[in-house]
């Protein structure tokens, strides 16, 4: 007589906020899957819904509360975790029926809460977890989180109060996870943390044995080792560094990009350029030296793409400060730029600073910086027309009804997923799939995207 395998409880997940939250969600789901739970794609099919919240800005908190409210209305059995979990009183005041509330990266507490709400059903017959764990991103790219927390005390940020001081993962654990991800099909590793440049500072860059040799817990050493990884067919995956503060040792990773060991891309959170604003933000005011270093980086690796984000309308920001930032951007010629209007966050020291900028002035400055950076981006992308460059394929379209041609969406090495531009392709032919890496001829460009055809 055949054994009937009982139905496993199903878990739904809503993951909000930054890629670090996404990695937390993946770890939680991986653990639950290994405990025998199934995943549900909708509220109706879930026995329990997890909402991984973001609490960085008040607008993000509102979005988190809306997501909790939707989950409560559609399902009713909800567990809340993530950055806003530290405000359990706020959540329970609005939603007293939530099953549990846990804080950021409290994996064990989340899993225990799920076990209490919907106990797992033991099943020895099925292998529940794929190699590399469960993923919320496409199979061909993965986020690799190397640390938690941050030692900075920027006046606009409450991350240290939510996630604590810097805690670096062991270098051998980081490299082992990366190796498994690549073996499972990852073609692009996106290295993330609150401060990637500070990796290993808390452990005094403690070395560990890896592949028969000692490797330090240091950004440069880690980057060099990640550059040695190869996919099953012998191809080097792209390795992209995010949240890199421009410490002096960052200079040492640029030659690795020139050698092809690292993707020529740096995500650096400059936030501003005016010395007075940077001082009020409690950030290093070394904008002139940074310009010199950017020039040197481009001398070493001409194809390096630099992205950053900036805050406009910070308390005390004058028109002269803002014009300083625009002039600095003219000099820096950053490839990718995001901008944010300053928004007070409960608990942030910046809220008490004098010189609040009126909302209409914030909006006017936001529009000006976006216009400035769009023009810089358009010029830099136009210079790529006629070049042949590698791309990674994200999505393949359906054949055209009239001529059967197939289009696709890809990214160049200058484009991180979700936050940068795309390379829109025509006539990719049959047989292409997400994760394929190949060369394309760039035929056209606009403010943010490229257009091309397989070379």
Give the span between the Cα atoms of 39 and 29, in whole angstroms: 8
List, as own/partner pairs, every contact residues 423-428 make where C-beta atoms lie below 8 angstroms and the sequence separation is at least 24, other chains included: 423/391, 423/449, 423/450, 423/451, 423/452, 424/449, 424/450, 424/451, 424/452, 425/391, 425/451, 425/452, 425/453, 425/454, 426/451, 426/452, 426/453, 427/453, 427/454, 428/393, 428/396, 428/454
Neighbouring CB atoms inside 10 A of 7's CB total 9
Give the span between the Cα atoms of 218 and 200, in whole angstroms: 5
Closest CA to 148 of 103, 182, 90: 103
Could you list the beta-strand ranges (E) of 211-321: 213-216, 238-241, 265-267, 305-312
DSSP state string for 138-167: -TTEEEEE-EE--S---TT--HHHHH-S-E
DSSP-derived letter for residue 441 is E
* 150 annotated to bind ligand: yes
Give the span between the Cα atoms of 117 and 311, in whole angstroms: 42
What tokens were used for 283? 């950030």
* 301 annotated to bind ligand: no
Could you list the beta-strand ranges (E) of 83-212: 100-101, 141-145, 147-148, 167-168, 188-192, 207-210
Backbone angles phi, psi at 142, to 5 degrees: -145, 145
**Where does residue 8 rank: exposed (0-12), middle (13-18), buried (19+ CB within 10 A)?**
buried
What tokens were used for 80? 């809340």
Cα→Cα distances 380→127, 274, 377, 450, Å: 49, 24, 5, 11
From the annotation, which residues make up the binding site? Answer: 18, 54, 83, 150, 154, 157
Task: List, as residue ranges, the binding site for [4Fe-4S] cluster.
Answer: 18, 54, 83, 150, 154, 157
């Amino acid at each position: 007589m055949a054994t009937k395998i009982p139905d496993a409880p199903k878990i739904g997940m809503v993951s909000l906020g930054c890629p670090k939250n996404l990695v937390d969600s993946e770890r939680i789901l991986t653990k639950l899957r290994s405990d025998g739970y199934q995943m549900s794609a909708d509220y109706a099919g879930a026995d329990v819904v997890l909402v991984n919240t973001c609490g960085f800005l008040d607008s993000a908190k509102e979005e988190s509360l809306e997501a909790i409210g939707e989950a409560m209305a559609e399902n009713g059995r909800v567990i809340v975790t993530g950055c806003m979990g530290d405000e359990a009183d706020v959540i329970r005041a609005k939603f007293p029926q939530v099953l549990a509330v846990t804080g950021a990266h409290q994996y064990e507490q989340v899993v225990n809460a799920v076990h209490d709400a919907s106990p797992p059903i033991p099943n020895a017959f099925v292998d529940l977890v794929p190699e590399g764990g469960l993923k919320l991103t496409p199979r061909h790219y993965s986020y690799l989180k190397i640390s938690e927390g941050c030692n900075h005390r920027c006046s606009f940020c409450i991350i240290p109060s939510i996630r604590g001081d810097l805690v670096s993962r062991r270098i051998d654990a980081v490299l082992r996870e990366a190796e498994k991800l690549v073996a499972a099909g990852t073609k692009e590793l996106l290295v993330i943390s609150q401060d990637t440049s500070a990796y290993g500072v808390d452990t005094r860059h403690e070395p560990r044995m890896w592949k028969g040799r000692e490797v330090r817990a240091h950004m440069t050493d880690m980057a060099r080792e990640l550059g040695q990884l190869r996919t099953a067919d012998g191809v080097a995956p792209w390795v992209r560094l995010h949240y890199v503060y421009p410490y002096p040792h960052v200079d040492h990773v640029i030659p690795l990009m020139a050698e092809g060991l690292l993707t020529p891309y740096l995500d650096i959170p400059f936030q501003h350029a005016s010395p007075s604003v940077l001082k009020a933000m409690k950030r290093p005011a070394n904008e002139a030296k940074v310009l010199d270093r950017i020039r040197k980086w481009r001398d070493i690796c001409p194809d390096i793409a630099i992205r950053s984000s900036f805050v406009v309308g910070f308390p005390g920001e004058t028109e002269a400060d803002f014009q300083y930032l625009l002039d600095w951007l003219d000099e820096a010629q950053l490839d990718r730029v995001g901008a944010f209007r300053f928004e007070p966050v409960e608990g942030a020291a910046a809220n008490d600073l004098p010189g609040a900028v009126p909302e209409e002035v914030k909006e006017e400055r936001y529009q000006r910086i976006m216009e400035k950076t769009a023009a810089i981006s358009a010029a830099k992308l136009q210079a790529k027309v006629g070049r042949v460059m590698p791309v990674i394929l994200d999505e393949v379209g359906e054949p055209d009804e009239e001529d059967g041609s197939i289009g696709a969406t890809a990214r160049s090495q200058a484009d991180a997923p979700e936050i940068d531009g795309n390379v829109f392709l025509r006539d990719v032919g049959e047989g292409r799939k997400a994760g394929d890496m190949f060369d394309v001829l760039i035929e056209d460009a606009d403010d943010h995207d490229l257009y091309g055809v397989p070379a």
